[in-house]
Structure formats: C-alpha cells, structure tokens
Amino acid sequence: MFISPAYAQAAGGGGSELMSFLPLLLIFVVFYFLLIRPQQKRAKEHREMVSKVRRGDTVVTAGGLIGKVSKVESGEEVMVEIADGVRVRVITQTLSDVKSKNDPVEPAGNDN
C-alpha cells in the first residue's frame, strides 16, 4: 500500500552530478561576462588615466570640482587649482575625469 522510501528516491531522477551543477555554472558565466569583466575593465582604464595625470591637465573630481593640475606631489596626491590662487590637494583616486591640455575642445552644441 505504501511506497518504500528506497523506491521513491530511485524514481527521483537519474541525472548526473554535472547536470545538477550546470545551472550554477551557467549563472557564474553570465555574471562574469555581464558584471565582473566590464567592472575590471573600467577599473583598469581609471588606473591608467590617473597614472598619466600631469601638470596642466584639467581634472574633474568625484565631488564635481573642476580645476587645473598645478603640481603632481606624489603617486597618490596632486595639487589642483580650482580658482585663481585657490589650490587644494586631491587624492588621485577621487579623480573622475582627466582632460589633457593637448585634447581638442569639443564645440558647444546648438540646443535647437
């Protein structure tokens, strides 16, 4: 009348262990290509951009301050002039954008 526990377990499926891990493996591959790899690429580009900062470059900090680099003090700090005679020390990792003094200026667009 009752089904024995051994028979019920055997009827559960005959799949291999690889098939049970396949969805987890597929999820990891998707996460790697959609999240991890692009983030690592952006971090590498940011490190390269920050390492090439030199005197005269216009920079934008993470706080939104725009200024001109007046002195590169060490590997982690730069002196940025944000107004005439106003200089602040900024940690290079907080720089969000660097415009080289050799970069061409983008023309202002018409708002028509």
Q: What count of other Cβ atoms lies within 10 Å of the Cβ of residue 106?
A: 7
What pLDDT, in 10s, does the model give residues 4-32? 665 555 555 556 787 888 999 999 999 99
Domain containing residue 85: CATH number? 2.30.30.100
**Position 15 in a domain:** no
Asked whether the CA dihedral 33, 39, 42, 43 is positive or negative, the reply is negative
**Position 59 in a domain:** yes
User: What's the CA gap between 111 and 10, in Å, rounded?
Assistant: 71
User: What's the CA gap between 73 and 55, in Å, rounded?
Assistant: 10
**Position 21 in a domain:** no
**Position 95 in a domain:** yes
- Global model pTM greater than 0.85: no
Closest CA to 57 of 73, 79, 74: 79
- Structural domain of residue 78, as residue ranges? 52-99
User: What's the CA gap between 41 and 32, in Å, rounded?
Assistant: 12
What pLDDT, in 10s, does the model give residues 47-88? 999 888 999 999 999 999 999 999 998 778 999 999 999 999
Count of the separate structural domains present in the chain: 1
Residue recorded with tokens 């290509």? 33
105: tokens are 């200026």
**74 — phi, psi (to 5°)?**
-150, -170
